[in-house]
Amino acid sequence: MIKDREIKTTEIETLKRHTLLVAMSASFLTPFVGSGINLAIPNIGQEYNASTLLLSWVVTGYLLSSATFLLPFGRLADIIGRRRVFLSGLLIFFISSLLSGLSWSIGALVFFRIIQGIGSSMIFGTSMAILTSVFPPQERGRVLGLNTAVVYMGLSLGPVLGGWMNFRMGWQSIFYFVAILSFVALIFAYLKMKGEWYGAKGEKFDYPGSFLYSAGIILFMYGISSLSLMAWAKYLIFIGIITLVIFVLYEKTTRYPILDINLFSQNISFAFSNLAALINYSATFAVGFIMSIYLQIVAGYNSQTAGLIMLIQPVIMALLSPYTGRLSDRVEPRIIASFGMIITAFGLLFFCWISKEMAIWSVVSILALLGMGFALFSSPNTNAVMGSVDKRHYGVASSTLGTMRLTGQAISMAMVTLIIASYLGNSALNSTYTDLLVKSFRTIFIIFTVISILGFFASLARGNIREKQKL
C-alpha cells in the first residue's frame, strides 16, 4: 500500500515536471519572436519598401488575431480537452512561423503573422489553465513566477539573438529559428505531457457568442488601428462596441456562455485584476517597438547593437519574476502589483524627455526601471487572477487574462500607429524624419504615463485576494 502511494506520488511529480517544462517551452516562443521581430522592422520595411503604418501590422495583425480567438479557444479547450487544443496550437504556430520566413511580400507576411496569432491564442488559452490544474494553490505563485521568467527570458534573448540573426542572416532567419523551436516543443509536449484536462466536459460550445465576441474585437481593434487611414474607421469602432455590448447581453441569457459575465459583476478581485492587466499592457507593450525605431533610425545603431541595449529590460524582468511570484504566495498580490505599476509609470514619465541627444546610459537606466516595474506587476497579478476563481473557471480565467493582455498590446500598437501617422503621415520609415519621430515618441510616452497611473488605482481597487481565499 505504501509502495503504491510512493509510485503515485512519483507519477504526479513527474507529470508536474513535464507539464511545467512544456508550458515554459511554449511560453518562451511567442515573446521571443515578438521581441526579435521588433528589431527587424526597419529591415523588413527596406526590403518591401513598406510604410510605418503597414509595418506596424506585422506586429498588430499577430496581436489582433491572438486576442480575437483566445477566449473562444479557451472555452473550447475546457470542453474538448486543454491538451488537445494546446498541441493543435503548437502545430499551427510551427507551420505559420515557417511560412512567415518564406513570405514573398509584406501582405503575405502580415497574413501568416495573423495565422501565427491564431496558433498562439490556442497556446495562451490553455497553458496557464493546465498549470493551475496540475499544481496546487500553495505552489501556484512559484510556478507562475517561473513561467513568467521564461516569458521574459524569451524577451531577453529576442533582441540579442533576433538582432544578431537579422544583422547576419536576414530577418527571415528569426522565423526559421522559431519554427525549429516550436517543432521541438510540439514533439516534447506530445510525448511527455500525458493526460487530459477538462473544465466543462459535455457542455455545448457557444457558437453565437464566439461569433459576436470575435466580430466585436475585430471591428473595434481594426477601427482603432485604421483611424489615421480611413475617415470611416470611427464607425467601425462604434459598431464594434455595439457588437460587444450585444455579446455581453447575450452571454447573460445563454446556458453555456464562452464568458461567464458573473465573474466580472460578482467578483471584484477578478474584474479589477483583469482591468489592471489591460491597462498595464496598453501603456507598455509598444515601448519595444518605439525603442527599436529610436535606437536604429534616430540614434543610428545597427540591429545587433540595438538588441544588446534593449536587453536590460527583459533581463531585469526575468531575474525578478520568480521572486515576485513566490512573494505573492505569502504577501497580498495587490500590494506587489500596484507597486510595480507605479514604478512603471515613473519609467514612462522619464521617457517623456526622450531626444536625439539622450545619453545611452539614460536609456539603459530607464529600461531597467521599466523591467523592474513589469516584474513586480506581472506574476503577482496573474496569481491574483487565477487565485480569485475556482477550478472550473481556470480555463476562462486564463483565457480572459490572456485576452486582456493581447487586447492591451493591440491597443498599445494602435495608439502608437495613430500618433506616429499624425506626425509622419504615410511616409516610409527612414532617418529623414527623425525630428518628427522624436516628437511623436514624446507624445506617446505622455499618454502612456497617464494610462499607467490610472492602472495603479485599478490595481489598488481589486481588494485582498488572501482574505477571500481564507473564507
Domain boundaries, the chain: 2-205+258-466, 206-257
Give yes or no for a contact between 156 and 318, defined as CB atoms under 8 angstroms apart. Answer: yes
Q: How far apart are the first and last CA of the chain?
A: 35
Answer with the residue of higher pLDDT: 1 or 461.
461
Residue 1: pLDDT band by 50, 70, 90 thresholds? very low
Answer with the residue of higher pLDDT: 354 or 465.
354
Q: Show Cβ contacts of residue 443 under 8 Å, excluding neighbours closer than 6 positions.
A: 419, 423
Sign of the dihedral through C-alpha 376, 378, 379, 385: positive
Angle subtended at Cα 174 by Cα 171 and Cα 176, rounded to the nearest 5 degrees: 115
Cα–Cα distances in Å, from 186 out to 32, 149, 413?
A: 17, 21, 30
The pLDDT of 137-148, averaged and rounded, is: 72
CA-based nearest residue to 145, from 337, 365, 343: 337
Residues 260-295: tens digit of each pLDDT: 787 777 778 888 888 888 888 888 888 888 888 888
Judged against a pLDDT cut of 80, whether residue 406 lies above it is answered with: no
Judged against a pLDDT cut of 90, whether residue 446 lies above it is answered with: yes
Give yes or no for a contact between 345 and 372, defined as CB atoms under 8 angstroms apart. Answer: no
Identify the CATH class of 2-205+258-466. mainly alpha
Beta bridge partners of 121: none
Residue 471: pLDDT band by 50, 70, 90 thresholds? very low
Res 342: pLDDT: 92
Judged against a pLDDT cut of 50, whether residue 228 lies above it is answered with: yes
Nine-digit cell string for 399? 483565457
Give me the helix-helix angle, 137-157 and 2-48, nearest 10°.
30
Q: Which of 122-136, 200-214, 421-435 has the lowest mean pLDDT?
A: 421-435
Res 465: pLDDT: 59
Distance of CA 205 to the CA centre of its chain: 25
Beta bridge partners of 428: 51
Res 450: pLDDT: 94
Res 463: pLDDT: 62
Res 466: pLDDT: 54
- One-letter amino acid identity for 362? S
- One-letter amino acid identity for 91? L
Residue 225: pLDDT band by 50, 70, 90 thresholds? low
Average pLDDT, the chain: 80
Judged against a pLDDT cut of 90, whether residue 448 lies above it is answered with: yes
The pLDDT of 436-461, averaged and rounded, is: 89
Residues 362-373: tens digit of each pLDDT: 999 999 999 899
Q: Which of 3-7's residues contact partners 24+ apart within 8 Å by CB, and which partners?
A: none
- One-letter amino acid identity for 258? I
